[in-house]
Structure 1
Amino acid sequence: MQIGGATPYPASAATLLPARSLAASISSDVSPDITRAAQAPVTAAQPADDEQSASSREEADKPVDSPASSDKARNTDDQRGVQQQRLEQLEVASLASRDQEVRTHEQAHAAIGGSYAGSPSYTYERGPDGKRYATGGEVGIDTGPVSNDPEATLRKMEVVIRAALAPAEPSAQDRQVAAQAQAQMAEARAELAQQQRTEAQAASEKRAQGSEDDEASADNDKSAASGPQDQSPSPSLDLYKQLSGLQEPMPVVDLVA
């Protein structure tokens, strides 16, 4: 009995591979259809071929090093180096400008403050060129009043205010110092006004006391001068005695020639 169709089903020529030899295990009386089924083509090697083709395509897609590509890479590196150098130059220029600004600012405080101001002190930052640049600074200044001398306090606070506002662009701290000095000046003016009122009152009292003393002295002098004039001289008896002792007058003789 024959199993299967009468017509065999040949495989496509593109996918057929040599079949494994099974003649040793198949007898001669087996149906040709069974034999053909046992000898099915092996297709496991096809994926390996596909992977090899993909690898070949990737290698083909890779750029091939050439002198032109090497020059382009060097040019890119050179451009990055030039850009980095320009950035460093700009940073150095900015630091140098800031250094000059800070030093000018603090030296203006010290110059105007004179004996009331200290020496400038700075904070530094190291630039890309390895140098140190001043990025901040300060100057100590004495804003305390002069003890028991409001006039000297006023003169001192005037100097402090000029020193605090000496830079072209005073900082917030500079303006705060100037405000403190102005407050000290207001207190000194009030103290000076009180002192002047006290001195004026003392002088007025002294003048009044002097006037009273002068008036008392004048009254005493007037009383001393008028006292002897009011007293009448007591009568003298000697005059009467002299009058009573006079002799009678002698007779006058006329001589006729």
Structure 2
Amino acid sequence: MQYLKGRKAVVSGGGSGIGKAVVEQLSAAQVTTAIADLHLPTDSPSNTHPFTCDVTDAAAIDRLFAHVQQHLGTPDVMVCCAGQGIHEKLTEGDPEKWQHVINTNLMGTLRMIRAFVPGMLEAGHGDVVLVSSVSAGQAYPYGGVYAATKTALQVIAETLRQEVLPAIRVSVVAPGVTDTAFFDNTISGYQTAESIGYGALTASQVANAVLYALQQPPEVSINHITLRPSAQVF
């Protein structure tokens, strides 16, 4: 963790699930962290700064940026975990719900990039981690909209990597089934980690992968990590 101690981070979706686990591990590594989420935890570590933020709202991202600059300065690390699932058939689903998922999973991440990465470039260093999914590039019934947003995120990540190298490292962490409140917050359709039937990762196991990428020495860039329950087929 020697490369993380004393750094500053901002984590979208940091109030629960994978994002909260990332915040906890960053905090343990002595990284001062801004938590951005619609619903903030009541048990945040002492070296964190919670900010209510809806990543689908451009004005909310602007306010988040101003708060982070005021309280932390330019972050060294940005981890984008905010996301929402949807499980609908394309011929029967609700386009308004699809738009919300696109705004959260894709546009929310793009807004975070646009807000925070220019400062990292000016500082001459930084790390960006996007939490994607094994569903990226993987078509499956009822998962078209969600998988499309995660596929787009991976294209965004590779584009960003090429645009900001060598100053900023860009990593994608793509987990398989993970046992979090993600399934409870899915807009429509109902699944659980158990009902999918492959077993499940824990949020902390995914956060371990995020921290693995971040703790590499500056000359090493881990650009993509896929992790799954060992029984997961895709």
TM-score (norm 1): 0.19
Larger proportion of strand: 2
Larger RCO, structure (CA 8 Å, separation 6 or more):
2
Larger proportion of helix: 1
Task: Work out which of the two has the higher radius of gyration on C-alpha atoms and give 1 or 2.
Answer: 1
